[in-house]
Structure formats: C-alpha cells, structure tokens
C-alpha cells in the first residue's frame, strides 16, 4: 500500500518594503504572489508588518494607516481564490485593540490571524507602547494536511509561544520577521531561538531586507529541521525569493536554494552601504554631497556612498581654509578621482575673513580659541547646505562614534547633514574598515575596486585642521585607548573602577566619562545613522541631557 507524504511548497519572499507605502508594498506582495503561482507553491510567506512596513513606530497609532493596511490585505486576499495561500504581516484592529498580526489569506478570503504575543520593549524596540499583545488560545492552521503554527519575530526568542504551539499540535512554525541586523545577530539568532531547541518543532524564518532610518535589515531567511539542521535559503542584504518544501512525514525542509552569509568587515560594510542607499533612495534624493577633507572619515564615507549610489550620484567638495595642508588637498582629490565621484574645491577663507571682520569689535583683545575653529566648521556646513538646497543632494556627515561620544564635533558644523554612515563605528573600526575596502569590493557595490582610499589617508595622524599643526591626540588619548574606555562606558555600562582596573589611567577615564555625559545635547541634535553594534547613540542609548551623575 502506497502512502502519499504530506508536502507543503512554500515561497519565501525576502523583500524590501517601504514604511508607509501601502500601495507600493501591496504591489510588491502581488508580484510575489504571481511568482508563487508560477512556481506551483502552496503558500507565500511575507515578513512582519509587511503591508505598512517595519518599524512603522507611531504611524500605527494613526487610524487611517491601520485601516488602509487592513483594506490592502483584504484586497490581496481576494487574489488567493485560486491559490496559493498567503501569510502577510499587517497591523490589525480588533475592537479597540491594535495588534501586530500575521494574516492567513486563503481561498479568496481572510482565513485566520495570529497576533504577536511577545512585544519587544528594549533597545531599538518600543512595541508595548503601540501594540496590544495577542491573547487566548494560539491558532494552528492546517495547510495541505500539515498543522502549521505562526510566531512573529520576538515570539521565537522565548519558549512560551513555540511551546504552546507545539502543545496545540503544530508540526511546523512559520516565523515572519522584522529582525534588524547588528554585528552579533547571526550568532544570536542561530543559538538563542527556542523553537526547535525547546520543542523539536521545525521552523521557517522569513525576514525583511533594507534600510529604515537608523536600522538595517539583512534578510538572511532560513529554515531549521526538527533536529536542528539548518538550510540557509537566501543571503544577507539582498532581496529575492526561495522555494522550499516541507515534508510533513519527515519534518524536514528541502530546497535547491542555498546561500552563504557575509561576516566580519564585509557584513558591516554592506550594512552601512545598504542603510545609506535606502535612506537616500527611499527619501527620493538625487544624490549626496559631502565635505571631503582629506581625512579618513570623509574618505570612507565617500567610498560607502559611491558603493551605495554609484559615483555619478556622489559629490565630494573640498572646503579648505588657511590651515588645510597640501597633503589633505592632494589626498582628497586623489580619493575622489579613484572613486569616480565628482570633486570640487570651494575655499572658505573669504567667509572666514568676513566673519572676522563682522566680529572684530566684539572679539577685540580676546585670544583665538575654539570659537574661531567652530566658525570654520560652520562655514563649511553653510556651504554644503547651500549646495544641497540649490541642487537637491542630501548632505552626508562624516563623524565617527568616538568623536560623537566625547563631543569632538561641531554642532551646526561637521554635524550638519541628513545622514551619517559612520555614526556607529568607533574610530579604530574606521581605520580597519578602510583597509578592508581597499582589499575587497563587497557584493552589490557600485564603486570600483583597488586602493580607493589612498594609503596616506589611512596612515597619517588624524587632524581636524582647524588650527596650526592640530592633531586629534592633542586633546584626546590615542584612539585605541579612547575606544576601549568608551566601549566600556557606552556598550558595557561598566563602572569606572572596572575600566581603570584594565590598566587605564584614572584621570583619563574620569575625563572621558565627563566628556561623554556633557556631549549628550550634541548627540540629540545629530543626524541619524545606521546601527552596527550592540548599543548605538539614539534609539539604544538615551541619557538625560541635564545630568550631574558621575561614577565616584
């Protein structure tokens, strides 16, 4: 006697929705549905809150946004009359309660819904304020004779939902995700998820891809069998679809799609490229303009911009003053040329002279100090903003995390702009990333290969060049020392005494702690930048501006 195995053919859609673009996201879903039909799939799976985009933040508090999302999902349901079924993420109102839901569309109608139970409320997440958690028995849906449960993103990080679904009879879990990337995320996902480790239930992880303000999503969708065997279906930082079949008898997945994930500096660089590119493109800027100083931060930022947008959309502008060295002039031009970007020089000395004349009476008999340095930085910002206003290019800022931490940046000067690709990279990481980019061209990059960042930019001592013979280490400890102290204070929330115990000078540690706290007002006014590490300035770390605490 022959027994027919129960199979479920699933098309995984790893796509890049735009927050608030319900119509555009609907068309993306329709395109994926057409693919699923062509490939003979039984089920199409889209990511968390797909129809409105994730994270939509307080946009989900706007009734019209939720209503339009629900209408779009119902319109998509009508297109499933002849199959396949669809699981799509959407906000959903049920009476007065607002849920983060995964909706099952089948046979031309909304066939069921699962409401997210574990609402993350830490780090970059704030879901408890805007959503109500799901309640009641967990639904299990039968698809091709296979009992299927749904868990949404955070639900799978804890045992409660997977265990309850297993007890309810689910033999496989579908897990739509809006899981943002960070440098530790692959290890966390592949070692911390509780679905199969706690219950033995296979699961399918479907994640979105793309940049959304400070966050970037890597996709990296995969499946896990009952015994923990993993199938990497799609790569990271790319859109695409993959067909995977679940065997209801063996509880295993099978697919011809096989992908490898990037790691190390390649992953971090690709994350920065995608985040900047999507920020520019989704906000419909024609390109970017940045101050090209001849230093490593602006050089690396220019490389990221060229790789994200193409050289024809990147405008590098050298803004020299009387303190700008000939080395910087040469290095800035050579870097822009190697990247293929547009390069112009606009001397700010006439503007500096004009302000000196304007302020001569008020500044009479006073010695020059950081005031005159900041005037130069702010004149550069005014110039770049004028170019932005006239030609439409977004100004990209170039400061790194170390500088932002201690306030080594000028408010309304070099902090002026729309986005900062290096905001979550420590200075020591900037050097390493620059060296890596000179040796490799990341997947999907639109820029050239080779030594795009001249080696002298990497090896010369960093300087803001706002006064004669200025060097960063005139006022800061060496960057390897500084970054180790800051990692402890910012990412580890370590006590000062623990950092000192690692061999750091007591006075230096206390001074850096003081600088970190008093620069909070600057960080509050800084442009957004992509999250790379475990704790970024902005969404992750929100300290009071008025703050007299110091670790005694």
Q: Model confidence over 208-244: pLDDT tens digits? A: 999 999 999 999 999 999 888 899 999 999 999 999 9
Which helix H or strand E contains 115, and what residues bound it? strand 109-115
Instruction: Please indicate if the annotation marks 407 as binding a ligand.
Output: no
Q: What single string gives the DSSP state of each residue in 32-101?
A: HHHHHHHTT-SEEE--TTTTT-S--GGGGGSHHHHHHHHHHHHHHHHTTTTS-EEEEEEEEEETTEEEEE
Instruction: Please indicate if the annotation marks 292 as binding a ligand.
Output: yes
Would you give the end-to-end CA distance of the chain in angstroms? Answer: 79
Question: Measuring CA to CA, which residue among 431, 398, 428, 372 is closest to residue 526?
Answer: 398
360 touches 332 (CB < 8 A): no
Mean pLDDT of the 311-326 span: 94
Residue 204: Cβ-neighbour burial (10 angstroms; 0-12, 13-18, 19+): buried
* pLDDT at residue 2 is higher than 50: no
Instruction: Please indicate if the annotation marks 388 as binding a ligand.
Output: no
Query: Is residue 390 flagged as an active site residue?
Result: no
Query: Could you tell me the pLDDT band of residue 26, with boundaries at 50, 70 and 90?
Result: very high
Question: Measuring CA to CA, which residue among 388, 382, 211 is closest to residue 304?
Answer: 211
Instruction: Please indicate if the annotation marks 295 as binding a ligand.
Output: yes
Query: Is residue 230 flagged as an active site residue?
Result: no
Instruction: Please indicate if the annotation marks 296 as binding a ligand.
Output: yes
Query: Could you tell me the pLDDT band of residue 323, with boundaries at 50, 70 and 90?
Result: confident
pLDDT at 350: 95
pLDDT at 483: 96
* pLDDT at residue 3 is higher than 50: no
Helix (H, G, I), strand (E, B) or coil at 260: coil
Mean pLDDT of the 404-422 span: 94
Among 106, 118, 127, 153, the active-site one is 153
Among 116, 282, 427, 531, the active-site one is 116
Phi, psi angle pair for 316, to nearest 5°: -100, 130
Mean pLDDT of the 26-43 span: 97
Per CATH, the number for 8-256 is 3.60.110.10
Instruction: Please indicate if the annotation marks 475 as binding a ligand.
Output: no
Q: Model confidence over 382-395: pLDDT tens digits? A: 999 999 999 999 99
Instruction: Please indicate if the annotation marks 136 as binding a ligand.
Output: no
Mean pLDDT of the 445-466 span: 88
Separation of CA 548 from chain center: 32
* pLDDT at residue 463 is higher than 80: no
Q: Model confidence over 109-122: pLDDT tens digits? A: 999 999 999 888 87
Q: What single string gives the DSSP state of each residue in 371-389?
A: HHHHHHHHHHHHHHHHHHH
pLDDT > 90: percent of the chain:
83
CA–CA distance, 491 with 426 (Å, rounded to integer): 11
Q: Model confidence over 53-63: pLDDT tens digits? A: 999 999 999 99
Instruction: Please indicate if the annotation marks 297 as binding a ligand.
Output: yes
- What is the average pLDDT value for the chain, to the nearest integer? 93
Residues of the chain with CATH 3.60.110.10: 8-256
Question: Measuring CA to CA, which residue among 42, 43, 41, 53 is closest to residue 15?
Answer: 53
Q: Model confidence over 479-523: pLDDT tens digits? A: 999 999 999 999 999 999 999 999 999 999 999 999 999 999 999
Among 48, 171, 268, 513, the active-site one is 48
Question: Measuring CA to CA, which residue among 224, 223, 248 is closest to residue 233?
Answer: 223
CA–CA distance, 239 with 234 (Å, rounded to integer): 8
308 touches 274 (CB < 8 A): yes
pLDDT at 470: 58
* pLDDT at residue 468 is higher than 80: no
CA–CA distance, 294 with 177 (Å, rounded to integer): 41
Query: Is residue 198 flagged as an active site residue?
Result: no
pLDDT at 192: 75
CA–CA distance, 70 with 57 (Å, rounded to integer): 17
Going edge to edge, which strands form the sheet with 140-143?
A: 140-143, 146-150, 172-177, 203-207, 222-224, 230-232
Mean pLDDT of the 125-136 span: 90
pLDDT at 474: 65
Structure-model confidence comparison of residues 192 and 381, the more confident one: 381
pLDDT at 475: 75
Helix (H, G, I), strand (E, B) or coil at 301: helix
Token representation of residue 459: 């090896």
* pLDDT at residue 15 is higher than 90: yes
Q: Model confidence over 149-180: pLDDT tens digits? A: 999 998 888 888 998 999 999 999 999 999 99
* pLDDT at residue 52 is higher than 90: yes
* pLDDT at residue 260 is higher than 50: yes
Q: Model confidence over 64-92: pLDDT tens digits? A: 999 999 999 999 999 999 989 999 999 99
CA–CA distance, 341 with 302 (Å, rounded to integer): 8
Instruction: Please indicate if the annotation marks 415 as binding a ligand.
Output: no
Q: Domain spanning 265-470: which CATH class is it, in words?
A: alpha beta
* pLDDT at residue 465 is higher than 80: no
pLDDT at 120: 84
pLDDT > 70: percent of the chain:
96
21 touches 53 (CB < 8 A): yes
Instruction: Please indicate if the annotation marks 291 as binding a ligand.
Output: yes
Residues of the chain with CATH 3.40.50.620: 265-470
Question: Measuring CA to CA, which residue among 158, 161, 90, 150 is closest to residue 114?
Answer: 150
pLDDT at 191: 78
Query: Could you tell me the pLDDT band of residue 550, with boundaries at 50, 70 and 90?
Result: confident
* pLDDT at residue 5 is higher than 70: no
Instruction: Please indicate if the annotation marks 374 as binding a ligand.
Output: yes
What pTM was estimated for this model as a whole? 0.94
Instruction: Please indicate if the annotation marks 455 as binding a ligand.
Output: no
Tokens 């009387």 belong to: 322
């Amino acid at each position: 006697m022959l027994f027919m195995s129960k199979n479920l053919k699933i098309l995984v859609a790893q796509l890049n929705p735009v927050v608030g673009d319900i119509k555009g996201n609907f068309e993306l879903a329709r395109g994926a549905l057409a693919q699923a039909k062509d490939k003979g799939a039984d089920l199409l799976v889209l990511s968390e809150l797909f129809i409105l985009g994730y994270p939509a933040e307080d946009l989900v508090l706007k009734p019209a946004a939720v209503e339009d999302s629900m209408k779009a999902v119902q319109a998509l349901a009508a297109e499933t009359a002849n199959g396949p079924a669809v699981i799509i993420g959407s906000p959903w109102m049920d009476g007065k309660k607002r849920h983060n839901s995964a909706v099952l569309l089948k046979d031309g109608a909304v066939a069921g819904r699962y409401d997210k139970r574990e609402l993350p409320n830490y780090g970059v997440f704030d879901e408890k304020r805007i959503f109500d958690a799901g309640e009641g028995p967990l639904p299990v849906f039968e698809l091709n004779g296979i009992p299927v449960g749904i868990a949404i993103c955070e639900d799978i990080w804890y045992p409660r939902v997977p265990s309850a679904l297993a007890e309810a009879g689910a033999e496989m879990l579908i897990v739509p995700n809006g899981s943002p990337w960070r440098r530790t995320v692959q290890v966390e996902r592949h070692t911390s998820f509780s679905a199969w480790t706690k219950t033995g239930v296979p699961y399918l992880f479907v994640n979105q891809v793309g940049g959304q303000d400070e966050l970037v999503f890597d996709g990296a969708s995969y499946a896990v069998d009952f015994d923990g065997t993993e199938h990497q279906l799609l790569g990271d930082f790319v859109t695409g679809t993959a067909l995977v079949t679940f065997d209801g008898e063996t509880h295993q997945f099978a697919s011809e799609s096989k992908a490898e994930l990037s790691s190390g500096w390649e992953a971090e660089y690709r994350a920065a490229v995608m985040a900047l590119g999507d920020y520019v493109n989704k906000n419909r800027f024609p390109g970017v303009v940045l101050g090209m100083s001849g230093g490593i931060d602006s050089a690396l930022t220019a490389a990221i911009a060229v790789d994200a947008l193409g050289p024809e959309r990147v405008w590098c502008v050298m803004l020299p003053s009387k303190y700008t060295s000939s080395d910087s002039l040469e290095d800035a031009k050579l870097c822009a040329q190697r990247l293929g970007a547009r390069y112009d020089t606009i001397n700010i000395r006439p503007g500096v002279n004009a302000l000196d004349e304007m302020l001569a009476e008020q500044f009479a008999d006073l010695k020059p100090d950081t005031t005159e340095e900041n005037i130069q930085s702010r004149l550069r910002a005014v110039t770049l903003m004028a170019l932005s206003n006239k030609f439409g290019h977004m100004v990209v800022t170039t400061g790194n995390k170390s500088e932002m931490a201690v306030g080594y940046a000028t408010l309304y000067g070099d902090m002026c702009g729309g986005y900062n690709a290096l905001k979550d990279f420590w200075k020591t990481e900037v050097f390493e990333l620059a060296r890596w980019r000179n040796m490799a061209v990341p997947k999907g990059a639109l820029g050239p290969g080779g030594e795009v960042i001249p080696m002298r930019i990497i090896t010369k001592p960093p300087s803001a060049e706002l006064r004669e013979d200025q060097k960063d280490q005139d006022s800061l400890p060496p960057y390897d020392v500084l970054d180790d102290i800051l990692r402890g204070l910012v990412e580890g929330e370590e006590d000062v005494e623990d950092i000192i115990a690692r061999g750091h000078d007591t006075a230096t540690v206390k001074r850096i702690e003081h600088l970190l706290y008093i620069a909070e007002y600057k960080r509050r006014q800084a442009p957004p930048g992509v999250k790379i590490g475990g704790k970024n300035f902005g969404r992750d770390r929100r300290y009071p501006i008025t703050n007299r605490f110091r670790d005694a």
